[in-house]
Chains A and B, each alone.
Chain A
Amino acid sequence: MRRFVLGIALIASLLLAACASPAASPASTDGEDVAAGLSGSISITGSTTVQPLAEKMAEDFMAKNPDVEIEVTGGGSSVGVKAAAQGTADIGNASREIKPEELAEFPNLKVHVIARDGIAIAVHPDTAVSGLTVEQVRDIFSGKITNWNEVGGADAAIIVVSREEGSGTRDAFQEMVMGDALITENAILQQSNGALRTTVANTPNSIAYLSFGYLDESVKVLPLGGVEATEENASNGTYPVVRPLNMLTNGEPQGVVKAFLDFVLGPEGQAIVRAEGYIPVK
């Protein structure tokens, strides 16, 4: 019996401790920025590439407008398109161009380009190669080139790492780099940009394509066709592999959704875009 009471006491004290820790971050209340009287809720779903960006923007927007509730979920670009078109979400995210057949099926779809994202070619840091052409990248990913010594590197088998079928990043890479060539079946497939980066960082002789937003020191980024993978080169059009990040609405956005999109496309939203490693559109 005594042990039982002790257990209850322990659990209760743990619960108390959990409640005491600051669960809710204080909303910023610098008076002048608060848009007067904005309230409502927005649901956002779709691309996992856009998701972290949308979450950060939603966080800042909700801090400014405490009466607005924004929920951001993932699911993939195709889900984003469908959700927006069918009205299951207020905003659908897509990290690729909207396909003509999608626009034909859902003529009401309104596309808002909120940012651009380059796709970089990332290799393991010890890789000796200092750059690749688009053709070489295509041949490596299609399995035509299988050894680093064919592109000026050491004599070692190339380990290709890719995203799974249906990923927006893979779709964009397929369209802009591969063309009609298929990505080799031997490629290791990882489920997210993050897992892709971890795999490349830890696997010697590996190569992958990575969204600009996920680049860091753990991988070596190769210039593509002599052009460095930087934001400047992506925004001035010299870097060859750049895709739009879209937010979709069914028809013209209204009310609180419009306010949010204005925020996203305004100076503050675009500052977030830059801070997260993507390319602003304004």
Chain B
Amino acid sequence: MQRRYRIDKGIKYLLFFSAIVSIIIVFLIFFFIFQSSLPAFQQIGLRNILLETTWRPTNGQYGILAMIVGSVMVTFMAIVMGVPLALGAAIFLAEVAPRAVQNVFRSAIQLLAGIPSVVYGLFGMVVLVPIVRRIPVPGNSGYGLLSAAIVLAVMILPTITSVTEDALRAVPRSYKEASLALGATHWQTIIHVMIPAAKSGIIAALILGVGRAIGETMAMIMVIGNSVIMPTPLTDNPLTIFLRQARTLTGNIAVEINYATGLHESMLFATGVVLFILIMIINASAHLILRNGERS
């Protein structure tokens, strides 16, 4: 008897320890990044960091606004392209496809999630960039927001698809049956019953997708061109803005950390802090949307 209780207690502490380790790690990272970025914030100033667009570390200019815009734009474009596809795929898997087809499709989409991001980048660099380059616009190199957003859209597909599919499957069967019994068609049931019922899950899928997109680094470095400029159209046609090169916040850290020393290095940590805060804002607003949605 005594011994069994002791083991039980031991296991409890072991589990507590495992849980606390991850918390400690998060705080250590948090602390380390903030501490390392402190000199940058003190010497350059929040205003000069957040509102300036010129990034020339050798000249002492450390504005990251262009990169914030780059990160947000490429993420937004990827969401616009990827989400309809992902939702369609999820509805198909959960509601339409026969079981055999489901299994094949689901494994294929899960396979997509397992591909390392550097491989996506390589694919983008040698396949996608040359295709985008064919768009006849002077100065179009193929490297830029459009190529990056397409790669990113594919990368967030599996996350959004599988979480959305789970959400749709979690809708109680009685809802669907009631809707069908009332004479609604299958499609009407999906649109008016299933999707509203799975709303919170679908929004969670979106958050995960946005998080994945804004944090993606390697594939972005390889196709986005990495120039630190505010995206502007290449010609009079405003759509050519999507062919412009850009740099993401993550890319800035990865591209320059090898060579950075002193204030420059501290500034890269500051870039990380900004990224951190950006992601926290996105997560918080998503939670807010979720909670409001559940109340109404």
Contact = CB atoms under 8 A, between A and B. Distances in A.
Interface of A: 48, 74-79, 82, 146, 156-157, 159, 164-167, 174, 182, 185-191, 195, 198-199, 202-204, 206
B43 interface: no
From A146, A166, A195, residue with most partner B Cβ within 10 Å: A166
Interface of B: 54, 56-59, 125-126, 129-130, 133, 138-139, 141-143, 221-222, 225-229, 245, 247, 254-256, 258-261, 264
Contacts of A187: 227
A75 B265 CA distance: 13
A165 B226 contact: no
24 contacts: A76-B258, A76-B259, A78-B259, A79-B259, A82-B261, A146-B139, A156-B138, A157-B138, A159-B141, A165-B58, A165-B264, A166-B258, A166-B264, A174-B58, A182-B56, A185-B227, A186-B139, A188-B143, A189-B227, A189-B255, A202-B130, A203-B133, A203-B143, A204-B133
Given A78-B259, A185-B227, A203 B57 contact: no
A75 B226 contact: no
A165 B246 CA distance: 15
Contacts of B142: 203
Contacts of B260: 166
A203 to B, nearest CB: 6
A9 B96 CA distance: 41
Contacts of A190: 226
Please indicate which of the listed interface residues B54, B133, B143, B221 has the most CB atoms of chain A within 10 Å of its own CB: B143
A198 B125 contact: yes
Considering the complex of A and B, which 10 residue pairs feature the smallest CB-CB distances, nearest first? A166-B259, A189-B226, A76-B259, A157-B139, A188-B225, A157-B138, A159-B141, A185-B229, A164-B255, A76-B258
Contacts of B229: 185-186
A104 to B, nearest CB: 15
B56 A165 contact: yes
B243 to A, nearest CB: 12
Contacts of A164: 226, 255-256, 259
B139 A159 contact: yes
A60 B256 CA distance: 32
Contacts of A76: 258-259
Contacts of A182: 56, 59
Contacts of A78: 259, 261
Contacts of A167: 259
A225 B221 CA distance: 34
A27 B56 CA distance: 47
A282 B59 CA distance: 37
B56 A186 contact: no
Nearest to B252: A164
Contacts of B254: 191
Contacts of A157: 138-139
A185 B255 CA distance: 15
A191 B141 contact: no
A186 B227 contact: yes
Nearest to A189: B226
Nearest to B130: A202
A248 to B, nearest CB: 15
A203 B139 CA distance: 11
A82 B254 CA distance: 20
Contacts of A195: 222
B270 to A, nearest CB: 16
Contacts of B141: 159, 188, 203, 206
Nearest to A156: B138
A202 B254 CA distance: 23
Contacts of A74: 258
Contacts of B256: 164-166
B259 A202 contact: no
A188 B129 CA distance: 13
A74 B256 CA distance: 13
A146 B139 CA distance: 9
A119 B143 CA distance: 24
Contacts of B264: 165-166
Given A182-B59, A189-B226, 14 more contacts: A157-B138, A159-B139, A164-B259, A166-B259, A166-B264, A167-B259, A186-B227, A188-B143, A188-B227, A191-B221, A202-B125, A202-B126, A203-B129, A204-B133
